[in-house]
Structure 1
Amino acid sequence: MLTVHHLGVSQSERIVWLCEELDLSYELKVYDRDAVTRLAPPDYKALHPLGAAPVIQDGDVLLAESGAIVEYIVAKYGKGRLVRAPDHPDFAPFLYWFHFANGTLQPATGRNMILGRLDLPADNAVMKAMKARLDLALGLVEARLGTAEYLAGDELTTADIMAVFSLTTMRYFLPYDLAPYPAIRAYLQRVAARPAYRRAMQKGDPGMPLLLT
């Protein structure tokens, strides 16, 4: 049995959503963050040396890193779903946007979150540069979604499953305004309409308002 260890309000929501999209049989174990520190509880940190979410168990396999987990699950259980094969015309965009999520978009939000906690002046050069980096990343997503329904083309793929966290739940840690990005907002409404996404968020983070606008 595949077990998904889900830390509330974290990137591990990607894995719950993936399992729901693939209609997999899996066990979901949900862990709440510490009410004071907002960090993972000790029993979650004990799962893996990094102490970070997500983590899955599949037989003797213990695996962390959301990108690696997504690739593992679709390779083992996906039966070709939610990915693009090398001979597909959208293969290169699929690869790009899949890796863009954790290679560019999420690091940009994470750096801005950390800098925002340092009480730096608004004209700090590093802060300005990192804000510009996030604006550039969001602008690239906006431009892509102005020409395609989903990041890899006309259908949802794991590239979307990787990216949506940074556009939604991450805003609990780094509030930012999506008003300048109408294509992203329309895209998030398409995601919100997916039953698998709704099921995943209800199972993993029941009661949490979804930041989809």
Structure 2
Amino acid sequence: MLTVHHLGISQSDRIVWLCEELSIPYELVRYERDPVTRLAPEAYKALHPSGTAPVITDEGLTLAESGAIIDYIVARHGGRKLTLQAEHPDFAQFLYWYHFANGSLMPCMMMLMGAGGLTGIMRDRLARNLAALEAHFTQGHRWLAGDAFTIADIMIMFPLTTMRAFVPVDLSPYPNLRAYLHRVADRPAFRSAMAKADPDRKLQID
């Protein structure tokens, strides 16, 4: 049985949501952050050498890293749904946005958590990343890969919503991006995932 080890207010939101979108059977084990430090409990850190969320276990396998877990679940349990193949005209766009979340957007926000001398640089880079997303949706794209909802959309939601509990980001200058977030939040699988993963938390969309 696939088991998703979910740490509250973390990137493991993505994995719960993926399982709901794919309608695959899984077991959800929830862990709460320390109320003072906001860090993961020792039981979660012990799951994998990385000590970070997300983590899954599956038939003796223990796997960490959002992208790796998503790729594994889609290939092993999801029939490669929610992806685009190389012959699809939006394949390159799909790849770009799929890797954009953790390759470009998340590093900016993580570095802003630590502040320091790079704050101005990271704020500028974050603004350019958000402007790129706004421009993409201004062009009429419904999802990151065009007309198809994919795992790229699952990857991007965390930094644009949950991560803002740690790094406040004003999205008011980006109306098309906010409209996109509302489209995502209206998906039944997303609502089901959030109700299971963090039932007591109000998700920050706007």
What is the aligned partner in structure 1 of residue 56 from structure 2? Answer: 56
Equivalent residue, structure 2, for 1:166: 159
Q: In structure 2, what is the equivalent of residue 127 of structure 1? A: 119
What TM-score, normalized by structure 2, do the two folds share? 0.97
The whole-number CA distance in structure 2 between the counterparts of 1:128 and 1:60 is 45
The aligned residue for residue 107 of structure 1 is: 107
Q: Which runs of 5+ in 1 are unaligned?
A: 119-123
Q: Is the 8 A contact 2:24 2:78 kept in 1?
A: no
Offset at 1:155?
Answer: 2.1
Which residue number in structure 1 is paired with residue 130 of structure 2?
Answer: 138
* Counterpart Cα distance in 1 of 2:96 and 2:54: 22
Q: How much does 1:135 deviate?
A: 0.4
Identity %: 58
Q: Could you list the runs of 4 or more consecutive aligned residues of structure 1 that deviate by over 6 angstroms after TM superposition?
A: none
Number of equivalent positions? 205
- In structure 2, give the amino acid aligned to 1:46: A
What is residue 80 of structure 1 aligned with on the other side?
80
Instruction: Mark the runs of 5 or more structure 2 residues left unpaired by the alignment.
Output: none
Match of 2:187 among 194, 197, 200: 194
RMSD: 0.9
- Say whether 1:91 aligns with 2:91: yes
After the TM superposition, which of the residue ranges 98-107 and 76-85 deviates more from structure 2? 76-85
Q: Which deviations, in whole Å up to 9, do the C-alpha atoms of 1:1-57 show, x marking residues without a partner? A: 000000000011000000000001000001000011100001001101111000000
Distance 1:80 1:35 in 2: 38
Q: TM-score, normalised by structure 1?
A: 0.94
Deviations 1:174-194 (A, max 9, x none): 011100001110001100110
Deviation of 1:207 after TM superposition, in Å, equals 1.4
Q: Measure, in 2, the Cα distance between the counterparts of 1:22 and 1:163.
A: 17
